[in-house]
Amino acid sequence: MPRICVFCGSNPGRDPAYREAAVKLGETLADRGIGLVYGGASVGLMAVIADTVIAKGGEVVGVIPQMLVDKEIAHPGLTELHVVDSMHTRKAKMADLSDGFVALPGGVGTLEELFEIWTWAQLGTHVKPVGVLDVLGFWSKLEAFLDHVVAEGFMREGHRGMLLSAYEPGALLDAFDAWVPPVVPKWIERDQT
């Protein structure tokens, strides 16, 4: 897998474990010869993972909208920096450049990116693995909610299973290597008629 896209916070979070997880993921990517694709910023966990991969001699590709370049948060030391016209274009470009997607802890932007790329997988727009690195149980309540969504009949178990999860970067990347995209019909009610 030549490149993994990482969605993560533009803030570092309160617990140092979040920063440590970004470092560990960055080191693991670089050690495995996997390039990093990310949002191109020089702040928060985004900066931590980019700086880590750069320090290890790895490839770092940033994709950032012009409006964030104008706010002077673009990372100056990347292998490549793609400046795009919108947040929508940013996500599409990151998806095109990547072979899988990992979400570290983050806020609304991270959640939005994770859910959009997972939706694209559910709809068959791509067949790339999508996963979360569950630092300090950050994603556990979301995962419980997603199980509730399945129980209430709004999502198939097969689609729920498309979101991989692990506590360690190596385990998540190993799951990506073993990934076989499921073939799951999207609409539940069509099976019931």
Give me the domains of the chain, ranges plus CATH numbers. 3-176 (3.40.50.450)
Residue % of the chain over a pLDDT of 90: 91
Residue 20's identity, in one-letter code, is E
The pLDDT of 189-193, averaged and rounded, is 58
- Please say if the pLDDT value at position 67 is more than 90: yes
pLDDT of residue 46: 98
Q: Residue 183 and residue 124: Cα distance in Å, rounded?
A: 9
pLDDT of residue 176: 97
pLDDT of residue 1: 60
The pLDDT of 103-127, averaged and rounded, is 96
Average pLDDT, the chain: 95
Question: What digits encode the pLDDT tens for the residues 148-181?
Answer: 999 999 999 999 999 999 999 999 999 999 999 8
CA trace torsion 115, 11, 143, 190 (10° rounding): -10
- Please say if the pLDDT value at position 184 is more than 90: no
Neighbours of 7 (CB within 10 A): 27
- Please say if the pLDDT value at position 190 is more than 80: no
pLDDT of residue 182: 83
Q: Residue 135 and residue 49: Cα distance in Å, rounded?
A: 14
